[in-house]
Each structure stands twice: as structure tokens, then as C-alpha cells.
Amino acid sequence: MQFGIFSVGDVTTDPTTGRTPTEVERIRAMVTIAQKAEEVGLDVFATGEHHNPPFVPSSPTTLLGYLAAKTDRILLSTATTLITTNDPVKIAEDYAMLQVLADGRTDLMMGRGNTGPVYPWFGKDIREGINLAVENYALLRRLWDETDVSWQGKFRTPLEGFTSTPRPLDGVAPFVWHGSIRSPEIAEQAAYYGDGFFHNNIFWPMEHTVQMVQYYRRRFEHYGHGQADQAIVGLGGQVFIRPSSQAAVKEFRPYFDNAPVYGHGPSLEEFTAQTPLTVGSPQEVIDRYAGMRDKVGDYQRQLFLMDHAGLPLKTVLEQLDLLGGEVVPVLRKELAAGRPAHVPDAPTHASLVAARRAAGIGAPDQLDSAGDRWTGRRAEDDLTAGDAAAASAR
């Protein structure tokens, strides 16, 4: 199982000091945080993608490419790659380039984002959000899996004999997670392709998360990619850790109360009771997240939001020491115990290359038609937004 952190890259005033970091400070802090995550033994660092203040990560591949040169082991990912407003041709080329520079230590999470105005900023219509996600991803897969792509759709100019460059490393494209909070159509899309489904449930009750994950698992099995419990699932999370629960709550409360995303709403106690936010001792965090498996089944990736709401860099680094030193080692052991042998680990570049070779499957460009990238099996003939919506309603 993979453990890591994700950052939304917010520039937020520290409510205890009144100080607001500059954009430069925040970007450099994200680099330091990623390096610290590797140092303490975490598996993944993921960055969001935002194109508006108060967020700074507008160019994830630039940040991750820089981190590829500054780290040795950690997997570099996105917490959101905007499949709706980015050109799939540019996504194909940018992330193949990152994959090469990172020597395969990369994957990405497709999402529609949470900022409505981003659509017109990039010439898109928010009312077409699901349709854009479906069409753009279908094209992206072809661009990674095929050369000489001829294509015509609704939302961009046609392509005729186009080959994106560079080609994916070792002929295997980066693994893709589809991130969603509330849209069963996106869970359907992930299941259709045999990709991962990441439910970023940081603001939602567990009952909703369970429904979304169970739906994805059923559809994954329906499309012939394996048993439901073999589907690739990731979850979001939030924690604030101190040696005692009382110290954690006292220190974190002003940050919670003034955070732009949930401040001035439910109390800290109400929010921690209703969502995965856990503020307490290392053992309290372990108990809470070890119990996630009882609700969603064995899963492959757990990412935590640690550097938000104006928390100073020094505090975030202390949090990472506690997460990597006292929490994750215990969670690894507890979540590995009793895990069925047929449940796969989270895919990595090395594991995908090995699986393809073991199955005797040629490079994607040698396939006769678009099939499941990892096994070569095809699911069903087509997926449209209408099909996804209809399936979600059943």
C-alpha cells in the first residue's frame, strides 16, 4: 500500500501570527515538503492544479519535473490534472516527458477541479464538464497507446496522422487515477478503462465514500478487469498530529476555525466526527485510518493533506516527522495483515512493465485497437457521457 501527501498549494494567512507567505515562499515550501516526505519514508507526493489565487500550482509538470531532479525514490503525482480544460495533446506530451525525466516515478490523477470559472478561462463550458472529461480522456489514451492518430470529436480541432512526443517510457503510459468527490460518471469512467479511482473524501461523510467506492468496484468487475476487490482504490485524508490529543486540538483549532475552505462553519468536533479529518495523537490517527479498510475494503493508496490553512512550514515538517515516523509504519503493518494475496498493490511503472512482459503483450502501438492498457483486454465498445449517466442512475 502506498502512503503519501497531497498539496493544494494554497497561500493562506497564518491566523496565529497574521503573516501571509509570498507565492515564492509557498512554491519553495512545497519543494521542501516533497523532499521531507521522501526523507521520512512516504511513497507519494502529489500536487494539485489551480489557475487562480490564492493557489500557486498552476504548472504541475514544472514542479514535478524539478522535484524529479531533487529526489531519488518518491513517486511524483498530481492531486488533480484538469482533464476538462487542458488539451489532451498537451497532457499526453507533458506527462510522457515527465515520466522520462523521473525515470518512471510518476503517475497522475484526472479531475475536473473545484473552481467553476476555470472553464471560461480556457475557453470551455462548465455545463459540458462530464462530456469534456469523457472525450478528452478517450483521446489521451489513444495518444499514449497509438502513433499516427486520426481523430475527430466535439471539443477540439481534429487530428490527422498525429503522433505525440515523446512516447511513453518503455511503451507503458503513466498510470492514471480518476479523482472524484461526487460524480458516479467519473467512477464509471475509471472502471471502464481499468484505471484507479481516487475518492478525495476530505469533506464528505464516510457513508458517501463507501457508496462511491462500492459502485466503482462493481463496475470494474462488470467491465472484465478483475474481481471487485481487485479494483484500484485511493482515498484522501487530513490529519494534525501531536503527542497528545489535547495538544493537537489546541494548536490546530485556530487554523481550522479560519481556514477558507471550512472555517466559520461546523465546529472542529463536528467536522472530525463527520469526515476523515483526525486531530489527535499518533495512536488516534492510526486507529482512525486502520479502520478505513473495514468500510471500503483493501485499498491501494492513502494520501493526506498536511500543508494547508496557513500552517507554517516548520509545523508541516514536524507533522511529516510524526506521520512518517510513528503513524505510517504501524498502518503499513496493520493494513498488510490479512490482505488477500489476489488483491494487487498500487501500480508502479516497474510493475506495469513487468506485467505486460509476463503476459506477452506487445507495446501499446502494436495493439490492433484500443484495449485495456494493462492487460490488453477490451471492455465494451464505447463509453459516452450518456452511457455513464445512465449507468450511474441504475
Number of other CB atoms surrounding residue 381 within 10 Å = 5
Express each pLDDT in 102-157 by its tens digit.
Answer: 999 999 999 887 677 888 888 888 888 889 999 999 999 999 999 999 999 999 99
pLDDT confidence bin for 363, thresholds 50/70/90: low
Which residues fall within 8 angstroms of residue 19, CB to CB, at 6 or more apart?
Answer: 13
In the prediction, which pLDDT does 145 show? 95
368: pLDDT strictly greater than 70: no
Of 182-186, 195-199, 317-321, give the lowest mean pLDDT range. Answer: 182-186
Mean pLDDT of 98-102: 97
pLDDT confidence bin for 98, thresholds 50/70/90: very high
CB–CB of 323/40 below 8 Å? yes
The owner of cell 512550514 is: 313
Number of other CB atoms surrounding residue 15 within 10 Å = 17
**Distance from C-alpha of 366 to C-alpha of 112, rounded to nearest angstrom:** 31
Class of residue 365 by CB neighbours under 10 A (exposed 0-12, middle 13-18, buried 19+): middle
Backbone conformation region of residue 337, classed left if phi is above 0, alpha if psi is from -120 to 50, else beta = beta
| Structural domains of the chain, with CATH | 2-393 (3.20.20.30)
CB–CB of 81/49 below 8 Å? yes
SS3 338: coil
Express each pLDDT in 227-243 by its tens digit.
Answer: 999 999 999 999 999 99
Number of other CB atoms surrounding residue 264 within 10 Å = 8
**Distance from C-alpha of 378 to C-alpha of 390, rounded to nearest angstrom:** 21
Rg for the chain (alpha carbons), in Å?
Answer: 20
Q: Which three cell numbers stand for residue 350?
A: 516497474
379: pLDDT strictly greater than 50: no
Rounded (10°) CA dihedral 131, 137, 143, 145: -130
In the prediction, which pLDDT does 181 show? 82
CB–CB of 170/365 below 8 Å? no
Enter the pTM of the model. Answer: 0.90
